[in-house]
């Protein structure tokens, strides 16, 4: 028996009390070494011993997925996407088989399943597949037998091609949420290496504060703008299927963060969090032919190449004899594909294609921003005072993003987190009269 002490978490918000189906997901750090894996197994068993049916979704151990990507890169500059998925999907299988062994040693029945065996059906878009169906019959049978079911995260099978697919980086979160929806689980527990969702990445901002709850809308914006703690698609899936996500630490007890509908949130700060990403790239098309349909053709080509485009800016030509300038950002890994896709549209679409692969982005997110003007002005001033040049700006009703040089991202995040007073000792709630209580929060 592993000597891992796991206290019960009964009474914690979002935790099933017994007789329910619970989905628990453990990320890479949470299953990295043998002791971590046994700790996860003990947590899973504790949940089973509370009388719940338990499905655990596991990620690949530690840096396994990165190592597999490096291996592929050592063999080929352009690995076949199908074979990439065959390779990448192995990491999660290792975790699940080992965890099942640990659970048997703890005196419980366990069965590990690949994504395909678990009924995770996807489209055929290799390395970025979307879940289109969950056929959970085999899992349900195993649960009815009393087994604990371990499901390899991040993968599925395409019914069209019958091939193994993967769901994009961080995709085990989406496996877990999709299973929670299909099984009618009372909660989807995401166990990770931080205590929950914070007001900024706690690795970059040690003073960041853990949020007790956050709305789906805000979490979607956070995930979309770089908070990798929950994969964007997992949050979308949870919102669309009404799944309760409970994000918490696998290393310590604690209440974690609940992702809930906006009506349920008790906090109503105008700025909730600062997010960032440092792995973006910008493409600028200078002198784009100024005729109807050009943007449509360019972005259709990017969509067909499965490239996610983020911030887009187009300037009117200075005169009729000039072309327009069009800039947009993409994930750095997609840069080569994006440029190829545009060149394939029409080589004369633009006079010049310029790229910058050292682009980062800093964003602030907050539902209260809708009703508080002046937040954008404050963001720009804070960055200006730090001597950080804003290269592109995009906004949504609850988010302001600035594209900046990648190497200035940490300074920008800390300056914004400080200026909006998001840290541990800050008061930033509206009181019942709607009056804002942030000390440095007025704009």
Residue 242 CB, nearest distance to Mg ion (Å)?
22
Q: Which residues contact 7 (CB under 8 A, 6 or more apart)?
A: 253
Q: Give the whole-angstrom CA distance, residue 267 versus residue 270.
A: 10
Task: Work out whether 170 is an interface residue with Mg ion (CB under 5 A).
Answer: yes
Residues in contact with ligand ASP, total (CB under 6 A)? 13
Task: Work out whether 91 is an interface residue with ligand ASP (CB under 6 A).
Answer: yes
- Side by side, the strands of the sheet bearing 21-26 are 110-113, 148-152, 53-58, 21-26, 187-192, 245-249, 257-260, 213-215
Q: Give the whole-angstrom CA distance, residue 54 versus residue 31.
A: 17
Q: Kindly report the number of other CB atoms within 10 A of residue 239's CB atom.
A: 18
Task: Work out whether 172 is an interface residue with ligand ASP (CB under 6 A).
Answer: yes
Instruction: Please answer whether residues 148 and 48 qualify as being in contact, where contact means their C-beta atoms are separated by less than 8 angstroms.
Output: yes
Residues that bind ligand ADP (CB under 6 A): 27-30, 59, 170, 192-194, 197-198, 200-203, 227-229, 273
Residue 141 CB, nearest distance to ligand ASP (Å)?
26
- Contact partner at residue 299 from ligand ASP, Mg ion, ligand ADP, none, CB < 5 to 8 Å by partner kind: none
- Contact partner at residue 219 from ligand ASP, ligand ADP, Mg ion, none, CB < 5 to 8 Å by partner kind: none
Q: Give the whole-angstrom CA distance, residue 165 versus residue 84.
A: 9
Q: Give the whole-angstrom CA distance, residue 238 versus residue 311.
A: 25
Task: Work out whether 27 is an interface residue with ligand ASP (CB under 6 A).
Answer: yes
- Side by side, the strands of the sheet bearing 120-122 are 131-134, 120-122, 155-158, 164-166
Name the residue nearer to Mg ion (CB basis): 27 or 115.
27
* Interface with ligand ASP in residues 151-170 (CB under 6 A): 153-154, 169-170
Q: How far from each other are the two terminal CA atoms of the chain, in whole angstroms?
A: 58
Task: Work out whether 191 is an interface residue with ligand ASP (CB under 6 A).
Answer: no
Name the residue nearer to ligand ASP (CB basis): 67 or 346.
67
Tell me the window of 22-30, 88-96, 138-146, 343-351 that interacts with Mg ion (CB under 5 A): 22-30
Name the residue nearer to ligand ASP (CB basis): 170 or 441.
170
Task: Identify the DSSP state of 363.
Answer: E
- Contact partner at residue 154 from ligand ADP, ligand ASP, Mg ion, none, CB < 5 to 8 Å by partner kind: ligand ASP
Name the residue nearer to ligand ASP (CB basis): 116 or 419.
116
- Contact partner at residue 194 from Mg ion, ligand ADP, ligand ASP, none, CB < 5 to 8 Å by partner kind: ligand ADP
Q: Which residues contact 226 (CB under 8 A, 6 or more apart)?
A: 275, 276, 277, 361, 363
Residue 226 CB, nearest distance to ligand ADP (Å)?
7
Residue 70 CB, nearest distance to Mg ion (Å)?
19
- Side by side, the strands of the sheet bearing 392-396 are 309-315, 324-331, 273-288, 350-365, 399-405, 392-396
The site string for ligand ASP over 237-256 (x = CB under 6 A, - otherwise) reads --------------------
> What does the binding site for ligand ASP look like in residue numbers (CB under 6 A)?
27-28, 59-60, 65, 91, 153-154, 169-173
């Amino acid at each position: 028996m592993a000597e891992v002490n796991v206290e019960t978490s009964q009474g914690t918000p979002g935790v099933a009390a017994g007789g329910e189906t619970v989905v628990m997901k453990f990320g890479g750090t949470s299953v990295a070494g043998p002791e971590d894996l046994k700790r996860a197994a003990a947590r899973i068993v504790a949940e089973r011993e509370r009388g719940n049916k338990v499905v655990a979704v596991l990620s690949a151990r530690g840096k396994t997925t990165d190592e597999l990507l490096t291996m592929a890169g050592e063999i080929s500059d352009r690995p076949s996407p199908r074979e990439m998925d065959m390779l990448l999907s192995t990491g999660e299988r290792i975790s699940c088989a080992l965890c099942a062994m640990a659970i048997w040693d703890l005196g419980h029945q366990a069965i590990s399943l690949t994504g395909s065996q678990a009924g995770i059906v996807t489209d055929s878009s290799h390395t970025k597949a979307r879940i289109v169906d969950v056929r959970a019959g085999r899992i349900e049978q195993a649960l009815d037998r009393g087994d604990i079911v371990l499901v390899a995260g991040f993968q599925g099978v395409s019914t069209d091609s019958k091939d193994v697919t993967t769901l994009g980086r961080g995709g085990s979160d989406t496996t877990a949420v999709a299973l929670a929806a299909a099984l009618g689980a009372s909660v989807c527990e995401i166990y990770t290496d931080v205590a929950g969702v914070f007001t900024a990445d706690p690795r970059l901002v040690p003073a960041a504060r853990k949020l007790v709850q956050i709305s789906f809308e805000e979490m979607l914006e956070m995930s979309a703008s770089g908070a990798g703690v929950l994969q964007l698609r997992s949050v979308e899936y949870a919102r669309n299927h009404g799944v309760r996500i409970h994000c918490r630490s696998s290393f310590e007890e604690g209440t974690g963060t609940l992702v809930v509908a906006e009506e349920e949130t008790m906090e109503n700060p105008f700025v909730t969090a600062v997010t960032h990403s440092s792995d973006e790239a910008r493409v600028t098309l200078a002198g784009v032919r100024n005729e109807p349909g050009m943007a449509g053709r360019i972005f259709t080509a990017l969509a067909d190449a499965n490239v996610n485009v983020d911030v887009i800016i187009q300037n009117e030509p200075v005169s009729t004899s000039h072309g327009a300038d069009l800039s947009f950002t993409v994930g750095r890994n997609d840069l080569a594909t994006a440029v190829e896709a545009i060149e394939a549209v029409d080589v004369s679409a633009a006079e010049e294609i310029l790229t910058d692969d050292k682009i980062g982005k800093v964003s602030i997110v907050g539902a209260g921003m809708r009703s508080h003007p002046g937040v954008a002005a404050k963001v720009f001033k804070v960055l200006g005072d730090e001597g950080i040049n804003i290269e592109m700006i995009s906004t949504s009703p609850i988010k302001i993003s600035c594209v900046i040089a990648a190497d200035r991202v940490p300074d920008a995040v800390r300056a914004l987190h400080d200026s909006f007073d998001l840290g541990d000792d800050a008061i930033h709630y509206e009181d019942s009269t709607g009056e804002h209580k942030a000390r440095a929060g007025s704009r």
